[in-house]
Amino acid sequence: MTIEQKFTDLINADIDGDISAADKDELQAFLGDNAEGRALHDELASLCDTLNGVEQEAPPPYMRHIIMNSVPPTQGKEESPGFLQILLATPALKYSVTFAAGVILTLSMLNSNQISHRTFDAVTGLVGTVAEPVETTFAHSISLSETDIAGTVSLRSAGSIIILDFDLVSADHIEVQADYTDKTIWFNGFAQLESEGTTVSAETGQVRLTMEEGKRRYAVYLQNKGARNTTINLRFLADGRVVHQAKLDYAPED
């Protein structure tokens, strides 16, 4: 026996709580006499409970970050400042502590013959004492949108210093390798902004960073004394597996 469409509609309306008192009475009378109708009511009610009970999927943790990075700067707003500007626009002490920790860690991991103490002093000075904003020149940036890692890395310069500005979100522990073939370029320092989840080590021609899960903002300073054209090759690894590769080009302004 087929249930009349009218009663099928009333059953659905009843389940959704969208039924008038008169229709409800009519439905009850129908269900009282009709076992098939009662079975359909139970089955549809169970279906709706199942559908309503399905858990929502959590969006990827880095998606919000990617979306915010993908929307263009809005009218009347200045472009998002670089890492160094942020660093210098806030009380220097806050960051100098972080920076000092990065430098100490770096020094402990570096071969001493790679370090120019003079330039280290200069960078430390920038962070700790300079009151006026330092002019940086934007050169190049790349975006990542992988399951494990997402965000942007930009390359800026300030005089002979190249600044790699990392603004990333990772879903897990990530290793970042930055290789530069020009051996006249030295690793010159490291700083991180409002987070402590990133560590750094360096050797000739390469800086390695390890970042923990979450949103991280940090910068690597390279000394390019000869103001040479160079390319920084970046590799992002999760569990030893390369999940993204990119390169950043730098050419000094004439």
CB of 59 to other proteins, least distance (A): 4
Do 58 and 66 contact (CB within 8 A), yes or no? no
What is the three-class DSSP state of 235?
A: strand
CB 239 → other proteins: shortest distance, Å?
Answer: 15
- State the minimum distance, in angstroms, from the CB of residue 94 to other proteins: 22
DSSP secondary structure letters along 90-128: S-HHHHHHHHHHHHHHHHHHS-GGG--HHHHHHHHHHHH
Site for other proteins in 222-241 (CB under 8 A): none
Size of residue set near other proteins by CB under 8 A: 33
Of 151 and 189, which CB lies nearer to other proteins in the complex structure? 151
CB atoms within 10 A of CB 136: 20
Interface residue with other proteins, options 1, 2, 18, 129 (CB under 8 A): 18
Shortest reach from residue 52's CB to other proteins, in Å: 6
Q: Which is nearer to other proteins, 42 or 121 (CB)?
A: 42
* Ordered strands of the 137-145 beta sheet: 137-145, 149-158, 161-170, 214-223, 186-192
Binding of residue 9 to other proteins (CB under 8 A): yes
Residues 42 to 81 in contact with other proteins, rule: CB under 8 A:
43-44, 47-48, 50-60, 63-64, 66-68, 70-72, 74-77
Q: Across the strands, what pairs with 176?
A: 209, 236
CB distance 122 to 141 below 8 Å = no
Q: Give min distance, CB of 96 to other proteins, in A.
A: 28
In 7-159, which ranges are E strands?
Answer: 137-145, 149-158
Of the pair 57, 254, the CB lying nearest other proteins is at: 57
Give the separation between CA 248 and CA 188, rounded to whole angstroms: 18
**Footprint on this chain of other proteins (rule: CB under 8 A):** 8-9, 12-13, 16, 18, 43-44, 47-48, 50-60, 63-64, 66-68, 70-72, 74-77
